[in-house]
Structure 1
Amino acid sequence: MTEQITQPEVKSLPRIGSKAPQFEAVTTHGKLKLEDYKGSWLVLFSHPADFTPVCTTEFIGFQNIYPQLREMNTELLGLSIDSVHSHIAWVRNIEQNWGVKIEFPVIADLSMDVAGKFGMIMPEESSTEASRAVFVMDPEQVVRAIIYYPLSTGRNMDEILRLITALQTTDEHGVATPADWKKGDRVIVPPSATQEGAAERMNDESLECKDFYFCTKELK
């Protein structure tokens, strides 16, 4: 008879713009709290299982972008429903076989407490493995972006870098970023809320306007 695994009851899941749920967890770097990351951006990501091929490529990918993320005041924190001993053995295996040392911590979430709080379990896909979820939190620990991938599809590291760059650009300059935007591209200026402002912006030489609601500019 198959043992049923009960997921922790969750009253509400985090949404974009909401405060991230607090937690304390055992990791490969010892016990860590979400509060430990206050003041920096954080990418919390889950993977289905240790010692699996897609997850291995992702961990190598995350480690490859980790130095760039840290330059952007951004930390990485992994998670799966595996033991800390499994995590340690796996990251050692990655270093031995691929020559890549995993420097960021990985949560051992055997109780599924953190995965439950963040909605990382998709019962229709698997009730015992976390999905490939990505939660981006700002220095105030507000959830700024959420991405989900199916178990079969590895994540795109360039997109994660692009996303965080775009969010930080929005915060610093009060602008929006268009489709496929990358650093150095023109940004979108929020539309005016008044007729007078709309008319003024059409004559603003620092802007390139297709119409009053669609103006872009270069960032200096």
Structure 2
Amino acid sequence: MFRQLIKPRNLRIPTLANRFYSFDPSSQPRIRIGSEAPNFQIDTTKGKIDFHEFIGNDWVVFFSHPADFTPVCTTELGAFAQLEPEFKKLGAKLIGLSTEGVESHNEWIKDIEQYNSTNVNFPIIADENKEVAFKYDMLSEEQFQNINSGLVPTVRSVFVIDPLKKIRAMITYPPSLGRNSAEVLRIVEALQVADNNGVVTPIDWTTGKDVIIPPTVSDEAAKEKFGDFTKHFDYLRTLKLK
């Protein structure tokens, strides 16, 4: 399947000196909701970064791609680039990753911008050593078993990280399935609404729709905090935020 996704002109084997050798499964960080996002220092299309410094006091959407010059990824990066102003309104930064080098990324960006009629302004990580792919478990079982080989495509991972450097949401897609960029934007907005208002959001929630009062909040406390609300069941109470 990966042979169909990757153009032969970009198939490069990293040198032994560039390989990352700490791929012991027992040392792999356990990424969970609420765990700290593993830090790393690495080259990107916007220069070298320290990931925690890059996050700063913002939200971050961190997403990986199987390889450069792949068809689905070209559409995805373009879609994220087009939505970047909306993410910025939420105080969220975008950053991508592929297990190829900066030079390859920069050439690929030309295709992305041409196909999607947009500019890619966010950085793309050059994870040639696959260190970040390992730390964030961005590999299928087959690719993990072959991590010490040449070009190893990652799965399509998405991590939403808050200003405290905590993982708040994760989505993993197979290489054959393109993501929904609008859903990722919805996730960031819904998390912020929940944090800022002490509520939770129901299925398919979007701005302006009713939210849910957590069951841990009593009716009396909910009335004092929110005013009027609709009580469907003891455990399901909804309201429209003002």
Output the TM-score relative to the length of structure 1.
Answer: 0.90
Q: Determine if the alignment matches structure 1 residue 101 to structure 2 residue 116.
A: no
Equivalent runs, 1:124-139 vs 2, <5 Å: 124=142, 127=146, 128-139=152-163
Following the alignment from structure 1 to structure 2, what is the Cα–Cα distance between the partners of residues 55 and 79?
11
- Please list every run of 5 or more consecutive structure 1 residues that lacks an aligned counterpart in the other structure: none
Change in Cα spacing, 1:66 to 1:205, as seen in structure 2 (3 Å) is closer
The answer to whether the Cα contact below 8 Å between 1:54 and 1:154 also exists between their aligned partners in 2 is yes
Q: Determine if the alignment matches structure 1 residue 185 to structure 2 residue 194.
A: no
Instruction: Tell me the SS of whatever aligns to 1:30.
Output: coil
Following the alignment from structure 2 to structure 1, what is the Cα–Cα distance between the partners of residues 76 and 114?
16
Q: Determine if the alignment matches structure 1 residue 84 to structure 2 residue 102.
A: yes
Following the alignment from structure 2 to structure 1, what is the Cα–Cα distance between the partners of residues 172 and 80?
16
Following the alignment from structure 1 to structure 2, what is the Cα–Cα distance between the partners of residues 99 and 115?
29
Match of 1:51 among 56, 69, 82: 69
Task: Give the C-alpha shift of residue 93 in structure 1.
Answer: 2.6
The answer to whether the Cα contact below 8 Å between 2:43 and 2:102 also exists between their aligned partners in 1 is yes
Following the alignment from structure 2 to structure 1, what is the Cα–Cα distance between the partners of residues 111 and 216?
55
Deviations 1:130-180 (A, max 9, x none): 110000000111000000001101000110111111000011001000011
Q: Which amino acid aligns with 1:189?
A: I
- Please list every run of 5 or more consecutive structure 2 residues that lacks an aligned counterpart in the other structure: 1-13, 147-151
The answer to whether the Cα contact below 8 Å between 1:8 and 1:112 also exists between their aligned partners in 2 is no
Q: Which amino acid aligns with 2:23?
A: P
Work out the number of aligned pairs and report it: 215
Task: Give the C-alpha shift of residue 123 in structure 1.
Answer: 2.8
* Greater share of residues in helix: 2
The answer to whether the Cα contact below 8 Å between 2:28 and 2:134 also exists between their aligned partners in 1 is no
Partner of 2:5: none
Q: Which amino acid aligns with 2:202?
A: P
Change in Cα spacing, 1:192 to 1:198, as seen in structure 2 (3 Å) is farther
Change in Cα spacing, 1:200 to 1:187, as seen in structure 2 (3 Å) is same
Task: Give the C-alpha shift of residue 8 in structure 1.
Answer: 2.3
Match of 2:234 among 198, 209, 212: 212
Following the alignment from structure 1 to structure 2, what is the Cα–Cα distance between the partners of residues 120 and 131?
6
Q: Determine if the alignment matches structure 1 residue 25 to structure 2 residue 80.
A: no
Change in Cα spacing, 1:201 to 1:167, as seen in structure 2 (3 Å) is closer
Following the alignment from structure 1 to structure 2, what is the Cα–Cα distance between the partners of residues 78 and 137?
13
Change in Cα spacing, 1:113 to 1:170, as seen in structure 2 (3 Å) is same
* Greater share of residues in strand: 1
- Percent of residue pairs bearing the same amino acid type: 41
Partner of 2:30: 13
Following the alignment from structure 1 to structure 2, what is the Cα–Cα distance between the partners of residues 65 and 7?
36
Output the TM-score relative to the length of structure 2.
Answer: 0.82
Match of 1:69 among 65, 87, 92: 87
Deviations 1:4-53 (A, max 9, x none): x8772333321101111111110000001112212000011000011111
Task: Give the C-alpha shift of residue 102 in structure 1.
Answer: 0.7
Task: Give the C-alpha shift of residue 98 in structure 1.
Answer: 4.1
The answer to whether the Cα contact below 8 Å between 2:29 and 2:38 also exists between their aligned partners in 1 is no
Task: Report the RMSD for the aligned CA atoms in angstroms.
Answer: 2.4
Following the alignment from structure 1 to structure 2, what is the Cα–Cα distance between the partners of residues 68 and 200?
34
